[in-house]
Structure 1
Amino acid sequence: MLDLLVPRYPDVMTIARRNERRWWILFLVVCVLTGVIVVLLRRRMSPESVLAFLIFGGVLIATAIQPRFGVYAILGLTLFGDRSLHPWYPFTKNLSSPESIMYVSDSFSLSPQELAIVWTLVVWLVRAATERRLRIHFGPLFWPAAIFLVFNAIGLVYGLANGGNRVIALWEVRSIFYLPLMLLLAGNLIETRAHLNTLFWVATIALFAKGVAGVWYVHDVLKWDLAGVERIAEHAMSIHFNFFFVLLVAAWLYRDSATRRFSMTLMAPFVLFSLVANFRRAGFLTLGMALGLIVLLLYIENRRLFFIIAPTGAVSLLAYLIVFWNNQGPIGILARAVRSVIGQPSARDAASNVYRDLENINIMFNIRMSPLTGIGFGNKFHMIVPLPDISVFEWWEYITHNSIMWVWMKIGVIGFYGLILLLALTMLYGARMVRLMPYGQLRVFALTATLYIFTHFVYAYVDMSWENGSMVFVGTMMGVINALPQIATEKPLPVRPWRVFSSQPVTNNTA
């Protein structure tokens, strides 16, 4: 086993044999996929379904050729998906979902997303082992994530042993398993600045495409009438868009490539419109917190720029709040979000706040009843105070809005501390990477990944956030943070900072 960890330099014949073996494997994969397509055609599936399977087959083939393509595809295809904007979208849905264009059978309960994650993991490990270069980088974040995963597995077993519903238990916990897997894949397969840059472009384009889909939904379905609309997409879309805007601000602040800065600026109106139309107060407030932390970082790194931006931003925000404090239209959504937090919510927001308060009472009751083990997955939480009827959400008796305390309620205090340990180490290590990465693109990526994870788990305190899309995104960003020290050892590209904003020349420091 130890010899797998020692780098070897094979001769020409060995390389030729490996290349021949790769091509035979690829040929067999193509044959299998061709057979699958023939079966689909014989079942007289729609052209859209056949096209979806062809695209998915292309993803699997590309991953077999280069495993990191699987990471790109998993992240991009996951971020574009949304059950409300396009319910037909198949990647994040089981192959047993009738509304999916990749529906196969009622008994096939795996999704293309899960198949892609497993396939990428297997291809990577098999190729690395056969080429005798298996060197797995766990980093400081994988083991806390693995410990948290173990406690979730224990919570699953405990819940089923105590009469929990098997189907609901698996739905509750399955997406949490994506987090350490994506952390491991991204932390090992994203190895260079170019890989990292491609990964962030994939996420950016996917979020832009979702923003365009949101604009089209408002135009085509709502006819530009947002009156009385609670949301246009899944709740998680708003928190995902935080990544886009943090990346945009960081790219201008640290002078990333002109292509990224100007292209994202052109994309921003579409994403911003969909963010506003989705009406998520927590999304706005967490984005504001992220931007506030960036301003605080400016105070540490560049006080001249801080004293230009901070007063201007504060005066602009104050003026906006004064002008739009009572505005009920889309342009006043941020003012309403601030107003609801300080104690003057609208009727709808007040009802939402009351529901969460009652739900928190029930959460704390269940925690006091089973503080050590939790109630386990698949079991309903006990309600000492009745909740308003939201039975339109079929699992409202199992899953709560407060996703942080929900963990304690489900898997007990030790598992809850495992989550806190994972979050604390991620924030500490992420902040360290922000300070150590060289000025320019790597610092942009470090700051964006760290702040996205921060905003996600702040958001998790008030809304459901353990769904599959968010876990893939969070796991990938944790993997990015894990991989940054190795990536930074490459020869850095020359970066010329904006000296008009800098009192001292900026040096390139590597981790």
Structure 2
Amino acid sequence: MAEPRVSGDVKAAFALLITLAALTSLLGVGALGWVVAPICIVLGIYCVLRAPLRSTMLTLMFFALTLENPSEMPAAGQWQSPFYMVGALLLTHFKTVIGGPWFFGGMDLMLAAAGVHWFVKLRGRSRGIPTPKPMIKLAHLCYATIAFTFVIGKLNGGGDSSMAVWQIDRVMYLPAVFLLCQAAFTQPKDYMSVGKVILVAATIRALISMYVRAIVPATVDPISGESDLPYTTTHHDSMLFGAAVVLIVALIIQRTGPKALRLAVLLLPILFGGMVANDRRMVWVQIILVFAALYLITEPNAFKRKLQRFALFMVPVGVAYVAVGWNQKGGAFKPVQIIRSAVDSDSDESTAWRDLENFNLIYTIRTKPLVGIGYGHGFWEVWPLPQVDYILERFIPHNSILGIWCYGGYVGFTGLTLLWVAGVYFGVRAYHHCKEPYDKAAALVSFGTILIYYVQCFGDLGLGTFTGVFLIAPSLAIACKLAVKSGAWPSALRPRQTA
């Protein structure tokens, strides 16, 4: 069944919405924001309620991946795009932009409208490829786990309700966006559209990254050696860049055709340029780990055998390179410094600081390993951390994985991450059952994106960011749909029994 097209009235309303939002952003918010914001909200809700859910989720995904989120301090506060305020209205709470008591933002309203659209028009209808029931149940389990962890926090001395809200904010979006994505992406080739959004968004952000690095002068502190422009877009663009690179490489590995090679020649230099300009070590760790995982799960072939022989030949060279460059700075040995910063606490202050934070988190986990300390509580600072201007530090740590363990314990961690684990399960099974090259590539990218999100969560506040959510939620949906399509989950294909 073909997906319904976007009607003319929706296109007109969307064009008006974009025009008003852009003009408001260029002219500044202020009093104008109070006038234009309600109009934009009404237009946005109208578009979401009238447009096909697939179009809505692809559009929200594109905006989430490309617009600036002020809470992430884009370009370390040194540069803003003309659409900065558009991102602020969509991706942050209204009260931070136009004032007032509004504790929600544009994305919250758009997702709520999408949920209403699904409930009214699509719920209960058989459309395209179904979703395995365990994935739906695991998404529901996430919300039960959130409620359980909140109750534990109240039983554990009450806690700070305002901090609990921020902690819940980090985990509540993923299951909701996944449920919407699995309802939206029901056709066999919907992953093509998702992949295009990722590539276009990553290219835009990479070009912005290089542009900012080229035009914004960076000053280096002579004492600390730190730059006032340590990154050019955001920390979380590492996930977007990594996913785009993995997507292109997966297309090549699966031999999808000459278009993949042309895409690599055109986009990989831009993506790597953006990654270098953004200067975040996490993206390199993500890409290396994903490629290592893909090597292990893909079938043996001539290319892998050649790669294995080449890797064995290069081991002595690699060891010598790392040994010589371990104590060097920059230049040809910068990759070695990236590796060292990820494993050696003495390499820089940032790594040492995170190790201290991890020590405190692990200590807190040991006090209540089963159910955690609950939301509304911060980890115990048994080893004092350097003072930082961030009131959420003890409540939303850099290591989000240990944070989930800390606040939810074994029960909470299991309840929140089983959805991720199931996505990996379906993605890998789909890869081994799919026959078409594009299907196999999509399965690899789905698995790789989940791993990228996990690494970002482990290393740098990745949990619940809109970049992460709108990368992993479609990936989870695509992974389980491909498992059904390929027969890796045949029970989902059985027709329902009629009474």
- Shorter-chain TM-score category? 0.7 to 0.9
Amino acid at match of 2:383: V
Q: Residue 503 of structure 1 aligns with which residue? A: none
Residue 247 of structure 1 aligns with which residue?
Answer: 247
Give 5+ residue unaligned stretches, structure 2: 488-492, 494-499
**Displacement of 1:466:** 1.1
Aligned to 2:118: 124
Q: Distance in 2 between matches of 1:429 and 1:159?
A: 33
Residues 291 and 483 of structure 1: is their aligned pair in 2 closer, same or farther, counting only changes over 3 Å?
same
Q: Distance in 1 between matches of 2:469 and 2:291?
A: 23
**How many Å apart are 1:406 and its aligned residue?**
1.1
C-alpha separation in 2, matches of 1:214 and 1:446: 29
After superposition, the CA RMSD in angstroms is 4.0
The verdict on how the C-alpha distance between 1:255 and 1:396 changes in structure 2, with shifts beyond 3 A counting, is same
Q: What amino acid is the match of 2:147?
A: A
Deviations, residues 368-426 of structure 1 (Å, cap 9, x unaligned): 33333322222222211111112x23311212222112112112321122245334333
Matched, 1:96 2:82: no
Selected match of 1:210 from 185, 205, 214: 205
Partner of 2:329: 328
Question: Helix, strand or coil for the counterpart of 1:120?
Answer: helix
Structure 2: which amino acid aligns with 1:81? L
Aligned to 1:338: 339
- Alpha-carbon displacement from aligned partner over 1:224-275 (angstroms, at most 9, x marks no partner): 9997333334322213321111111111111235445423531222321232
For normalisation by structure 1, the TM-score amounts to 0.77
Given residue 240 of structure 2, which amino acid in structure 1 is its aligned partner? H
So what's the TM-score if we normalise by structure 2?
0.78
The letter for the 1-side match of 2:143 is L
> Quick one: distance in 2 between partners of 1:368 and 1:44?
49
Answer whether contact 2:254 2:438 (CA < 8 A) is retained.
yes
Counterpart of 1:278 in structure 2 is 278
The aligned runs of 1:356-505 (5 Å cut-off) are: 356-390=354-388, 392-469=389-466, 470-488=468-486
Tell me the residue number matched to 2:496: none
Q: How far apart, CA to CA, are the structure 1 residues paired with 2:242 and 2:125?
A: 41
Say if 2:52 is the partner of 1:66: yes
What are the residue-to-residue correspondences of 1:281-320 with 2, within 5 Å?
281-298=281-298, 300-302=299-301, 304-312=302-310, 315=314, 318=318
Residues 447-486 of structure 1, C-alpha deviations (whole Å, 9 max, x = no match): 0110111232134233322133212322221111122134
SS in 1 for 2:91: coil
Task: Identify the match of residue 180 of structure 2 among 181, 185, 191.
Answer: 185
Q: Distance in 2 between matches of 1:277 and 1:49?
A: 38
SS of residue matched to 1:356: helix
Q: Is the 8 A contact 2:61 2:470 kept in 1?
A: yes
How many Å separate the matches in 2 of 1:488 and 1:290? 23
Tell me how many residue pairs correspond in the alignment: 455
- Structure-2 separation of matches of 1:235 and 1:267: 21
Q: Deviations over 1:89-141 (max 9, x none)?
A: 2321122222xxxx4x4212212222222211211221125x96589735432
Offset, 1:442? 0.9
Contact 2:10 2:51 in 1 (8 A): yes
Q: CA deviation at 1:48?
A: 13
Report the CA distance between 1:291 and its aligned residue.
Answer: 1.2
Distance 1:427 1:222 in 2: 42
Q: Tell me if structure 2 keeps the 8 A contact 1:148–1:418.
A: yes
Provide the rounded CA distance (Å) in 1 between the counterparts of 2:53 and 2:367. Answer: 46
Q: Check conservation: 1:193, 1:487, Cα contact below 8 A.
A: yes
- Please say if residues 138 and 187 of structure 1, whose CA atoms lie closer than 8 Å, have aligned partners that are also in contact: no
CA–CA distance in structure 2, aligned partners of residues 312 and 322 of structure 1? 20
- In the alignment, is residue 153 of structure 1 matched against residue 151 of structure 2? no
State the alpha-carbon separation in 1 of the partners of residues 41 and 211 from structure 2: 24
The residue number in structure 2 matching 1:267 is: 267
Return the alpha-carbon distance in structure 2 between the equivalents of residues 310 and 95 of structure 1. 53
- The residue type equivalent to 1:448 in the other structure is V
Counterparts of 1:77-96 in structure 2, within 5 Å, are 77-82=63-68, 83=72, 84-85=74-75, 86=80, 88=85, 89-90=87-88, 91-96=90-95
Work out the CA distance in 2 between the residues paired with 1:387 and 1:236. 24
Q: Tell me the secondary structure at the aligned position of residue 279 of structure 2.
A: coil
Which secondary structure does the structure 2 equivalent of 1:438 belong to?
coil
**Alignment pair present for 1:219 and 2:214:** yes
- Per the alignment, in what secondary structure is the counterpart of residue 461 of structure 1? helix
Partner-residue secondary structure (3-state), 2:469: helix
Q: Which residue of 2 aligns with 1:164?
A: 159
Q: Partners of 1:64 and 1:44 in 2: how far apart? A: 30
Task: Identify which range, 243-252 or 371-380, moves more after superposition.
Answer: 371-380
Distance in 2 (CA, whole Å) between partners of 1:46 and 1:323 is 59
* Post-superposition offset of 1:440: 1.0
The answer on whether the counterparts of 2:345 and 2:351 sit within 8 Å (CA) in structure 1 is no
Q: Report the equivalent of 1:504.
A: none
CA offset digits 1:291-334 (Å, max 9, x no partner) = 12233345x331x1112233445639828657865553376442
Q: Is the 8 A contact 1:183 1:479 kept in 2?
A: yes
Any conservation in 2 of the 1:286–1:455 contact (CA below 8 Å)? Answer: yes
Q: What is the CA–CA distance in structure 2 between the aligned matches of 1:249 and 1:224, rounded to whole Å?
A: 36
Code of the residue aligned with 1:180 in structure 2: it is P
Once the two structures are superposed, residues 14-62 of structure 1 have per-residue CA deviations (whole angstroms, 9 ceiling, x without a partner) of xxxx99xx999979x99x989x99xx99x98659995997599368516
CA distance, structure 2, for counterparts of residue 172 and residue 488 of structure 1:
38
Please give the alpha-carbon distance, in whole angstroms, between the structure 2 residues aligned to 1:406 and 1:218: 33
